[in-house]
């Protein structure tokens, strides 16, 4: 092999390595930015994020010690903080429609929302939109999986809170 061929191979290897290093730093920077966004909301409430996740559109986090939930919408830069003790119910609102005909009908997701119902019936439900097909042009499988995880966490936290606050039964 001549020096030109060796130089070309070395250059290709170096460029490939640089691409992987750049992607790693980019992913790490995105994760740090998401953590900083949700943590800044938590600090306003004297909390510290103990767990968080993010999708293309939202960041969800919690301080399990103080039982706070935090949400940050990346699209409109809005945030929300609320105590789990204020929540009565949690559910995922999933809107789909079918495409096709006959035996070849495919289900397409139009909207994914996390709906939180207050214990105080005077307050309206909190709706956190995670995916909207009119705005988002990707397949939302990861968004749905993430919201299902957080729905389970919130429901178990509500159940735990209700059992801790339930009156004790006296044995006679």
Tell which wins on pLDDT, 72 or 34: 72
pLDDT score for 68: 93
> Scanning the structure block, which residue is given the tokens 């998401």?
34
pLDDT score for 139: 81
pLDDT score for 69: 93
pLDDT score for 135: 86
Tell me which DSSP letter residue 102 carries: T
Contacts of 40 (CB under 8 A, 6+ apart): none
Domain ranges of the chain: 3-164
Instruction: Taking the CA atoms of 82, 122, 148 and 74 in sequence, report the sign of the dihedral they define.
Output: negative
Instruction: Taking the CA atoms of 135, 83, 123 and 77 in sequence, report the sign of the dihedral they define.
Output: negative
pLDDT score for 166: 62
pLDDT over 70 percentage in the chain = 95
Please provide the DSSP assignment of 32-48 as one string: HHHHHHHHHHHHHTT--
Q: What is the pLDDT of residues 110-161, one digit of tens each?
A: 999 999 999 988 999 999 988 988 888 888 888 899 999 999 999 999 888 8
Q: Partners of 131 in the beta sheet?
A: 112
pLDDT over threshold 60, residue 170: no
Q: What is the pTM of this model?
A: 0.75
pLDDT score for 32: 81
- Rounded Cα–Cα distance for residues 170 and 17 (Å): 68
């Amino acid at each position: 092999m001549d020096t030109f061929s060796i130089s070309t191979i070395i250059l290709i290897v170096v460029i490939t390595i640089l691409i992987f290093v750049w992607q790693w730093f980019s992913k790490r920077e995105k994760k740090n930015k998401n953590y900083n966004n949700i943590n800044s909301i938590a600090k306003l409430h004297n909390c510290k994020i103990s767990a968080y996740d993010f999708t293309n559109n939202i960041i969800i986090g919690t301080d399990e010690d103080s039982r706070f939930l935090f949400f940050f919408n990346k699209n409109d830069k809005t945030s929300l903080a609320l105590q789990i003790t204020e929540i009565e119910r949690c559910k995922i609102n999933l809107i789909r429609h079918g495409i096709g005909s006959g035996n070849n009908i495919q289900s397409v997701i139009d909207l994914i929302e996390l709906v939180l119902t207050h214990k105080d019936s005077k307050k309206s439900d909190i709706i956190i939109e995670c995916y909207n097909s009119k705005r988002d042009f990707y397949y939302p499988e990861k968004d749905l999986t993430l919201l299902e995880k957080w729905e389970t966490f919130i429901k178990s936290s509500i159940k735990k809170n209700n059992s801790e606050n339930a009156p004790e039964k006296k044995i006679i």
